[in-house]
Structure 1
C-alpha cells in the first residue's frame, strides 16, 4: 500500500464518527450475579475484550472494546472503552489505553486519570479519545489469565464483501487473532500470498525471506515445480531449502526427521553413503551393548548420539591431517577411537601450554614427597592431566589452562609400586589443598588421607579439601 493512502486511511480511522454503542449493547458480556458475589473487597470480577467486525472503505474493520467490572472503595464499577481499531491491509492500527506490560502480555489502562496523564504525549481528537499509532504486529489480543477475548460477530461475511475477499485466509494456520497481520502481507502481494496459502505453503507467508516477488508465478519461489511437494512437507525457510535441495532430492526426503538426520552429515562435509549409515547402525548396537555390560542396565543412547560422535571423530581427524584410509574412517570401536583421538588432539593443541606447565612444575619439585606406600609429585605436562581425567573419570583435564597460567597446581598421588598409574589427584592453590579425590570423585581411603595430612604438615599447607570433620578425624 502506498504511504500516502495508508496515512489517509489511518487519519480517517481515528477521526471518523463510527457508530457509538450503548452499555446495553454489551450486556451479554457483563458479569453475572454469581460471578460478582457478595464480597466488596477491591478486585476485578470480569475483564473482556470484545471484537466487533464491520466494513469501512471496502476493507474489513475490527473495533475492539474493553469491558472491566469490579469493586473499588467498596463500590461496584464498570468501564467500557474502545481500545483498538484495525483496518485490513494497513501496516499500522490505532489504539487507546493499551500498553505492553513489563511482565509480558498486553494490558489496558482504566480510569479517567489516564486522559490527563497521557495528554502531553498524544493529542486528543474530536471524539475525545487518545489514539496512538502502532504497528499491526503489536498488541495482538490473545485470551490469557488477565482477560478473555470474544468475537461479537463473525468476520467472514464482511471479509467476503471486501477488497480482500480472495485472501485465502481459511487455507492457512493463522489464528483469528493474527488475521490483520496476514491481511497486511496479502495487501502487498495479493496473488502470491493467495497462491502460497492455497498450495499449503503458509510457513512462507510467515517468513517471506527468499521469495522473489518481482518474478512471475511460480518462478517467484526460485525452485522447480517438482520440488514444491518437498517444500510443502518439510516447511523449511526458502533460502535453506534451495541451499540443500540437491542432496534432499538425492535421498528423496519428505520428512523433517530425515532432513535433520542427513543435514548433520552435509553441514560437516561428510557424504552419508549406504556404507557410512550401515557402519553407524552397527556401532550404535555395539556402544549400547558396551554400556549395558559396564553398568548392568540399559542406558539412553540414540543413533543421533552415534552420528555426532562420528562427525566429531572425523572433524578431529581433519585437524591433525589424519589419513582417511578404511581403518581410520571406519574404526572397529568408534567410541574408543574417538576418545583416543580426542586425547591426542588435545595434546597437540596444548604444546605451547606444556612448556609453561613444565616451567611451573619445577617450582613445585621441592614438594615431592613419599613414604613406604605412596608418593606425590607435581604435574609436568597436559597429557598427564588428560590421562588422569580419563582413568579416574573426573574433570582435572579442564585445569590445563589454569595450571599453565600458574593459577593453581595439580599433584598426583601414586601407589609406590605403581608410580605411573593414576590413583588420587590433588589440587594445591596458594598453599591450600583445595581438592583431593580418587576415581569418580570419591574421597580417598584413610591411608591416603593420613599421607596427605603428613605432607601438608611438613610443608605447612592448609588442608581444606574434605571439610572440618574429616580433618579432625585424621588428627
Structure 2
C-alpha cells in the first residue's frame, strides 16, 4: 500500500501573477480614459464591476455607463457620489481639463453645479470657468459682458486672488456699465502693472469663507459719484501708482474714506477743491485737518472781521510785493501752517483789538504765503517768513516804502 504522506511538488511559477490586473474585492481602481479642455471620462473597476463616468461638457452629455451590460445611467448627485466614493484619501489628476485639474470625492458638488447651470457650462466651453469654491460668483459678470470677462480672465495672473484681482472685478464691471468697456480695460491693464498688493473697495466690509466671498465697488463708486468731479483715469493712476510710490502696499476702504474727507475739508475751507491728487496724501490730509480744526477755534472770535475792516486801507501793491489784509479766520490758520509758525495763536489778540495780522506777498502770487506781519498800533513789531526766517533786504525795502506811505513804523 502506497504511503499516504506523498509530498506534492510545488512550483513557484504557479504563484507569480500580475497584481495590477487583479481588482481587490471592495476596492475600486480608477483610470483616466479621456481628457481634453472641457471633457473627461473616468473608468472605475472592481472585482465585479466595470463602469465609466462620462462628462462631455462640449456635447452636453453626462452619464455613467456599465461597460459589461452597456446600460446607461443618467448622472445624478447620488450616482456620482457612489462612483467616486473610493477616492476618500486620494485624487485623480486631470492634466488637460481646463476647469477641473484634480478630481476628488468632494468634487461632486462642483461637477453637479457646472453641468446644471447653463451659464457655468457656457463659461466652461469658453475655457473661462474660474476654479474656485463658488464659480457662480462670477456668472453675473459673464452675463454682463462675456467679451470683457474673457479679456480680463486671460489678462489677470489669477482671477481668485482675493486681495488684488478678485476684489477689483466688481469695480471693473461697474466702470464698464458707467463709462464703457475701454475704460474698464484701462483699469484692468493698469491693475496688472501696479505694484499694489491689496485693494478693498467694499463699503460694508469684506467677508469670505471657503464657500462664499462678497465684494462691491462701494468706496470707488462713492468717490466717482461725489460732487468733486474726479477724473476716472487720473484717479485710477493715482490709487494704483501714485499711492504705491507714497508707500502704500494696500489701498483699503480707510483710504477712500480719508480721501473723501480730504476733498470735503478743502471744499469747506477754501470753497473749492484745490488739489485732488496730492503727492503726499497722508501729510496733506493731516495738514488740511489741522487747518480746519484751527479755523473752527478761530471762528469763535466773532469780532475778527470787524477788527480787520478797520485796517483795510493798509492794503498796498508796489514794486514786486503787496500787502494783503486777511478777512477770514481761516486765512490766519492757513498762513500759520503754510509758514510753519504760530500766527493762529494771535487770533484772540486780533479780535480784541490788541494787534492786527497782515500778509506780505509777492505781487505776482498774492495767494501764496510769504511773510506774516504783526501790527501793533502804528508799528510792525514782527515779520516772519517760512520757519520763522527773518525778512530779506529786498522785503525790508518794500516794507519801508509801504510804511512811509501809510505812516507805519517798521521795527523789525
Q: TM-score, normalised by structure 2?
A: 0.32
